[in-house]
Amino acid sequence: MRRRLLALACVSASLLSGCGLVPGEGGSERSTVTVWLMKDSASQDFLKRFTADFERDHPKYDLDIRIQEWTGIGEKVQAALKGDGDDGPDAIEVGNTQVATYAQDGRLQDLTLESMRDWGIEDWLPGLSQPGQYLSQQFGVPWYAANRVVIYRKDLFEQAGVTKPPRTRAEWLDVTRRLDKGDDQGIYLAGQDWYTLSGFIWDEGGDLARESGGSWRGTLDSAAALRGMAFYRELHALGEGPANADEEHPPQAGVFAEGRVAQIVAVPGLAQAIVRQNPELKGKIGFFPVPGKTAAKPGAVFTGGSDLVVPKNTDEKDGALAVVSALAGAEWNTQLARTMNYVPNKESLASAVAGEEGVAAMAAGAAQGRATPATPQWSAVEADNPIKAYMTKVLTGGDAKTEAHKAAGRLTELLDPEGR
């Protein structure tokens, strides 16, 4: 956000290159566009190449990319949005479910026009584009996505006579029953993996919560949501996942690495952690999309990932828009996906990662991706998550309908604390 006047000449040829002077425009004024990106979202090599390309194509701008830690980023972004803009960010990478929280006070630029006119909003992955909206306006521009797939043991599938991954829920249950033999678990599914449950609920036509007349209410007690929970319970029973813990307690990569689990539901990148812990599994791990109710399409999945936003208080709006356009555009979005094993932001770009099994499975599922309710209050839900407690109650013998009604009521309280 800071503007500077370059010197008429630099001391050396290397400094001349660093100053980015345009031939015939020595001493012309240039602007710095400050961009906040999150740690490990992009490699240093990618950022170096992007910066060089951007500054070459936009000679009036210099890029200042500042890497941020996820821990405490919410408070840091809020402070930047409320500040006077001096030396703050002009474009920011944010988690896709965080956009509504930052947009609610009117501190983000409305990017609806650019999204519709220039950036291909109609082809964006819904799990990224939908949470980027607030009050029917587009504030977040999808950058990259990641979602869960089924990570499986190819050798255990072969031993069970399974020659190809299942494509429907019914096939998935049948295969998992065949794998759940002796000391082997057909699947390790933690009892509080609410992200996976959400996909099953969405597949049934249900939701975690729905908005009406400006207020939100929990809908875990709908018939569709209850069907999703019933499938989760049936699948969970085909392994030894704890009913009272999520997928990180204990970390499911470690459980899978022990060698007696046929399947887990996780992002493909977890396979690297599995092989590090048990090198004997190298070459034995495969991936397939979470199966849907029919073979026509994969199951719905929660889409995580990042959107790009532009603060209202930027004094380099044009430069910020240029950065967003470049990062989210086909060329650099495809390069990012290949470099980092992400899903590109558009379904039409999925072919760019088709050669890598895990990412290809993820991309297929991303086409059915969804996100949590686009309300600033969702952060309160995740801080005191009644969905997890509900799942444990059902998996330990509680009446699903009764417990779902209680959990839906608690969701409503958290999403609409004023009780409108």
From residue 392, how far is each of 87, 236, 261, 399, 403 by CA, in Å? 47, 11, 21, 11, 10
Task: Locate 111 and state its tokens.
Answer: 């990017």
Q: What is the pLDDT of residue 160?
A: 96
What's the pLDDT at 65? 98
Q: For 233-279, what is each residue's pLDDT tens digit?
A: 999 999 999 999 999 999 999 999 999 999 999 999 899 899 999 99
Is it the case that residue 284 has pLDDT exceeding 50? yes
Query: What average pLDDT does range 349-360 have in this prediction?
Result: 88
Q: What is the DSSP string of 108-124?
A: B---HHHHHHTS-GGGB
**321 CB-near residues (< 8 Å, 6+ apart):** 111, 114, 310
pLDDT value, residue 22: 39
| More confident position, 305 or 22 | 305
Residue 158: the pLDDT is 97
Q: What's the pLDDT band for 214 if we cut at 50, 70, 90?
A: confident
Structure confidence at residue 16 (pLDDT): 32
pTM of the model: 0.80
- Half-sphere exposure (CA, 13 Å, Cβ side) for 354? 6
pLDDT for res 355: 86
pLDDT tens, residue by residue, 87-145 = 899 999 999 989 999 999 899 999 999 999 999 999 999 888 999 999 999 999 999 99
Residue 68: Cβ-neighbour burial (10 angstroms; 0-12, 13-18, 19+): middle
- What's the pLDDT tens digit per position in 45-64? 999 999 999 999 999 999 99
Measured at the alpha carbon of residue 89, what is the angle toward residues 84 and 92, in degrees to the nearest 5? Answer: 130
pLDDT at 297 over 80: yes
Residue 68 near residue 37, CB atoms below 8 Å: yes
End-to-end CA distance of the chain, in Å?
41
